[in-house]
Every structure is written in structure tokens, then in C-alpha cells.
Chain A
């Protein structure tokens, strides 16, 4: 995240290098601030320009500092999550297959004849 600028009293903008933080990461970071801000997003080459505008009221200097710190941490955290998700995708699938492969014991004999019998 770079070029963090206050555009006006209710709007800030910043740029993100998509080679460092891809669109998936960017979407997840922005999702969690979308309750308070209207978000615009424009890509040029590998640089995303994000403009965020307060839905209510203006944004103070203190708000900007807090937002900047939060976004910086969220980018790092969601990037870390993506590394974990990507590297563990296969093992997670294996885990689920092993967990549920032997549980398909839904007893159709118990269910279907009973429907007619009871109704």
C-alpha cells in the first residue's frame, strides 16, 4: 500500500501493487471497511487505485492514522492467510475426503418405503 492521500474532508485514496497484494487479498481487506466507506477501485496495469469515502460525516486526521494502520496490518494478515490457504488446499481436501468418505450410510431402505406407508 502506498501513496496514501487525503483527497478531501471525507475521502482518502491509496495505491496497491497487485503483484504484492493480489485482487483477492485486496477484496478481503476492503470488505471489512465497506460498512463505513464507499469504495471505488480502478486498475492501471498492476497498480490498483482505491478511493474510499466516509458514508457518514468527515474523516479526521486521527481517523486517517487509525485507518492507515489497520489497512497496513490487514494487508499483511490477509496475504499470510492466502499463503496458508494456497499451500494447504490439497491437504485440506484430503482431510475432508478422509473425514467423510466412510460416512455415506444414509439408510434409504429406512426412509423411502416409510414415506408411503405412513402417509
Chain B
């Protein structure tokens, strides 16, 4: 007789169950296997018995001999908690020079300087950033279009570098910019201070321009990317796309545009329900997004089979959670949630928000995830009763619908999205697109890897 170890299961399709243990190791077995395991119907002479034992699903002793090993692996999976907040987002301004149809940040006219962060608030934000116990910090500049407030960015980087002589943290700087406004002087500053660029490219010219509400948006962006590559280096710039309603019909064209512009990776990012995008017809969009994702992934895999290395980064995040013993830094797929634990936002309005999406909600006068003012002390912000309330709903281990889910180890909790889409940070899984999307994608990836060894080979190359 064997003893059970904690694991979860779920039908993967009409033939197979997926069994996932507490540290994310998985087995795909015929339907009903979990029932057989729980009812002690697995004979110790069976191959399955050995697989289950070796993978910590069952144990021949009440406490497995290698429990310390299992505990160490569990801790590694949650190691993103060790250092607390590491991503510090500075919203320098809400001003922008584009008119994106899906703008999630409620950006303002490029001359509306009252939408810039004040110098006093910027100082306070930098101080708060240094209070973080994390030894490795990412300081990310966002907007609007943050280069419209470049003097603030310059000041923030220079002040941070002076203060860091004392704190000695490892700091990575990231500038989120559409690249349109970047001058040679600004690019030289970015190079001098080793600042990475994260830009936006929605695909081919007609699509990018349609999404951005500008007829010359694409040309200016590509020109800006090229200038930036020339000065700060080709590999210092990455691009993100946002899947607008219009994008859903152009899988191949989007990937081809990325390839033509010298990118070897993409993040197929779904539209988020914030800002202008909040009024989208979400049921239709969500269903179409999944089809778009699967179709685009198929095309990307075809390219890889032909020897063209091209990586889809959203897939890679799941693959890292499924195939490696490590955690990932992507805040949407963490439990406890990435908000506050991994990311915090210092907003142009002088307030601190639990995440980027939290400050987007605040633009609709909803301050549910505003956790303090920049002039408050670190402890009053990060250990406040409001943060305590949010903490009640930020672990998928304790949420209805998630606590029994086989994919819990690969997924995350997102109270802000739950609140935004369902009016309740706890969330309601039967109607959650976050749940539906992640389950569908994880199942798809698992089946692809199980049925197509050549796909597994490509996927493994992506996570190296």
C-alpha cells in the first residue's frame, strides 16, 4: 500500500488526464488514472507506480525520504517572494504623441504638462524604490510617452546612480517608448546609462497605423527603432504588440512584419480591459483571441521547423513554469500575485499603485488599488491594511475554482483584473477569461509537447 502526496488533476481531453504535483511536475495518463491512484488501484509492479513514485505523486513511506528535496523545489518555485518588490514603474507623464484606439493608460495631449510627475514626487518615488529589500531592481519608465518628459527621466537615472553608490543594488533601467520622439542626444544618454528600450510594434504598416490613429506612426516607429539600434545596439530593444480587434485577422502578417524589422521574438499580448479598451465587446474578443493565439503559434512553429528561430514570449513564460524548476518574473502569472509582491507603480499624480493596471483603473476615478501617497512611509504603504485586504485574495491556492485546479502551479492570481472585469477582486472563475485563456493555452501546449516531439524540441530551445 502506498501513500498519496499532494497533486491535482483534470481531464486534458477525451482520452487523458493531466496530473500535476505540488512543484509543477506533470504526467499525462489515461482518463480515470487519478481515481485509480486515490483508490489504491495501482500495483507496485506497474510502470506507472514507478513514475508516480519518482515524480512525487505517491510515496511508499508516509513521509517521502526526499521530502527536503521536494520542499527545496517548492521554495524555488516561490523564490520570487524572497526579495519582495523588484519591478518599480515610474509613470513620468500621461502625455502622449499617439492616439491609440486601445489606449489602456488614458493618455493625454502631448502639451498637457500638468500630467507630468512633479520633481518632489519623483524624489520621493526614488527613495521608496531604494527601500525595497530586493537587491536586484528594475526601474521602468512608462507613460503616456515618457520621452515627452525626458528631463525627468534623465534626472531620475542620474539621481538613482548617485544614491546607488551607497545602496549597491543591481539596477536595470527600462524605457517604454514608442521610439517616435527619440533624438540622438537622448539615445546617447540611454547608451551611456545602459538603458533598455521596450517599444510597441503592432505588426505591418496598415495595422500599426490603424491601431495608433496616425498615418505616419509605423514609418516613424521603424525609423526610431533603427536610430536606436544604431546608437544603443540591436539587442537593447525589444518590442511588444497589442492584439486589437483589427489584429485578430492578421497572424501571419504580424509575425512577418516582426521578422522584416529584425526581431526574433514577439509577445502575443491580449488587449486588457482598462482605459479606452474597457469598452470593447469582450466575449467576442476573448474567443477570437484564443483562435488568433493558436493560429499564430502554429505559424511561429512552422518558421522554427524551417530553421528560422523565432520565439513567442507568452508561450515561453508558461513553458518555463511547466518545464523548469524555476519561477518567472512575469507578474500576471504569480501566486501570491505579482501586484505589490513583485511590482509597484509610482504614478505621475503622486500616488502609489499596486500595479500598472491599478493606475489605469484610477484614471476612471476608481482608487481601489491605490496603496498610498509617495510622501507616506515605506511601511505605511507596503504593510497597510489595504495591502492586507488585497493579500486575502492574491493566492490561487486559496481561491474558489483555483484551489483544486490542475494548472495552479502554472497560473497566477490577478485581483486587479478580477476587479476590473467582474467587479470583485476575488473573481468568479466560471466566467473569468483569465482562467479560460490560461487553461486553454496550457492544455494546448501540453498536448502539443506530448503528441509532437519536434514541438517539444523547439519549445526547449526557447527556454534555454
Contact = CB atoms under 8 A, between A and B. Distances in A.
Contact of A80 (B34, B131, B377): B34
Interface of A: 28, 31-35, 73, 76-78, 80-81, 83-85, 87-88, 91-92, 94-96, 98-100, 103, 106-107, 110-112, 114-115, 118-119
A91 B401 contact: no
A96 B395 CA distance: 14
Contacts of B307: none
Interface of B: 3-11, 22, 34-35, 38-39, 62-64, 67-68, 70-72, 74-75, 78, 82, 124, 127, 130-131, 133, 375, 377-379, 400-401, 404, 428-431
Given A34-B430, A35-B428, A81-B404, 14 more contacts: A32-B401, A33-B430, A77-B11, A77-B34, A83-B4, A83-B39, A84-B8, A84-B38, A94-B63, A95-B74, A100-B75, A111-B131, A114-B130, A118-B131
A114 B127 CA distance: 9
Question: Which 3 residue pairs across A and B have the least CB separation, nearest first?
Answer: A98-B71, A35-B430, A118-B127
A21 B10 CA distance: 19
B401 A83 contact: no
Contacts of B67: 91, 94-95, 98
A99 B70 CA distance: 8
A84 B7 contact: yes
B404 A92 contact: no
B74 A83 contact: no
A119 to B, nearest CB: 6
A84 B6 contact: yes
B378 A115 contact: yes
B377 A115 contact: yes
A119 B127 contact: yes
A31 B401 contact: yes
Chain B contact residues, majority secondary structure? mixed
A96 B77 CA distance: 12
A84 B401 contact: no
Given A91-B6, A92-B22, A103-B75, A118 B63 contact: no
A35 B127 CA distance: 46
Chain A contact residues, majority secondary structure? helix
Contacts, number: 100
Contacts of B63: 91, 94
18 contacts: A31-B400, A31-B401, A31-B429, A35-B431, A84-B34, A84-B38, A88-B6, A88-B7, A94-B63, A95-B22, A98-B71, A99-B71, A99-B75, A99-B78, A111-B131, A111-B133, A111-B379, A119-B375
A6 to B, nearest CB: 23
A78 B404 contact: yes
A112 B4 contact: no
Contact of B74 (A81, A99, A119): A99
Contacts of A112: 379
Contacts of B62: 91
Contacts of B39: 80, 83
A90 to B, nearest CB: 9
B127 A32 contact: no
B165 to A, nearest CB: 14
Contacts of B124: 119
A95 B377 contact: no
Contact of B133 (A78, A100, A106): A106
Contacts of B64: 91
Contacts of B401: 31-32
Contacts of A77: 9-11, 34-35
Nearest to A114: B131
A87 B4 contact: yes
Task: Point out which of A85, A91, A107 has the most chain B C-beta atoms below 10 A from its C-beta.
Answer: A91
A41 B62 CA distance: 39
Nearest to B431: A35
Task: Point out which of B3, B71, B379 has the most chain A C-beta atoms below 10 A from its C-beta.
Answer: B71
B82 A99 contact: no
A64 to B, nearest CB: 19
Contacts of B22: 92, 95
A84 B67 CA distance: 18
Contacts of A118: 127, 130-131
A15 to B, nearest CB: 23
Contacts of B375: 119
Contacts of A87: 3-4, 38
A8 B67 CA distance: 54
Contacts of A100: 75, 78
Task: Point out which of B6, B9, B63, B400 has the most chain A C-beta atoms below 10 A from its C-beta.
Answer: B6
B9 to A, nearest CB: 8
Given A31-B401, A94-B63, A76 B4 contact: no
A81 B377 CA distance: 45
Nearest to A83: B38
Contacts of B400: 31
Given A31-B430, A84-B38, A95 B127 contact: no
